[in-house]
Structure 1
Amino acid sequence: MSVKEISIEELKQKLEQEDAIQLVDVREDEEVAEGMIPEAIHIRMGDIPEKLDAFDQTQEYYIICRSGKRSENVCYYLEDQGYQATNVVGGMLAWTGETKPKL
């Protein structure tokens, strides 16, 4: 079984075209401090199980990390829990768009 995937280019198009997409950055605090995509919310990978109430089973979630491996694992977990999740291939290493510091 594989998870759904989206490229950085496809993600950029979605961010430009859609009002609100559910983008979740699962990197650690020190990684996010270097900058994250402005539309993203930050929930560390290790915190996902206890934060499942922040997710809505009717929404599609796009999961991003540094390179795409941790986000892929989170996608498998979320799908096992009944949520719709798509992995952002290449992660923040491939992101060339705007970032903001996490406050």
Structure 2
Amino acid sequence: MKQITTKEVEKLLIKGERLNIVDVREVEELQSGKIRGTLNIPLGLLDFRMHELDKSKEYILVCRSGGRSGRACQLLDSHGFNVINMTGGMLEWEGEIN
């Protein structure tokens, strides 16, 4: 499984890179903040909503600590998606949130 650190994601965003970030936390968890521009698809709904994603794009998956996003990466990878797990999740995120 491909991985990226929170610092690497933050640097890419600061440089103006357009990233496709999917946050797999539950809706109520987003109240603590999320990375600007992320799409929220809770892990439990990913099977039902993966049709919203484009297999030609690369996605960075995010959760609270990196565990659920790792499982989401395995699921999406098994369906032919190009995915990267953000290790450390939002617990390690020091960048801007909204």
TM-score scaled by structure 2? 0.95
Letter in 2 for 1:12: E
Distance 1:60 1:18, change over 3 A: farther
Measured after TM superposition, the shift of residue 18 of structure 1 is 4.0
Which position in structure 1 is the counterpart of 2:67? 69
Alignment of 1:44-63 (within 5 A): 44-63=42-61
Which position in structure 2 is the counterpart of 1:33? 31
Q: Distance in 1 between matches of 2:16 and 2:45?
A: 27
Q: Distance in 2 between matches of 1:98 and 1:57?
A: 28
Q: Between 13-22 and 79-88, report the one with greater CA deviation.
A: 13-22
Letter in 2 for 1:50: F
Pair 1:4-2:11 in alignment: no
Instruction: Count matched residues.
Output: 98
The alignment partner of 1:39 has SS state of coil
The alignment partner of 2:91 has SS state of helix
Structure 2 alignment gaps of length 5 or more: none
Letter in 1 for 2:52: A
Structure 1 alignment gaps of length 5 or more: none
Which position in structure 2 is the counterpart of 1:20? 18
Q: Distance in 1 between matches of 2:94 and 2:2?
A: 22
Moved over 3 A (4+): none
Measured after TM superposition, the shift of residue 93 of structure 1 is 0.1
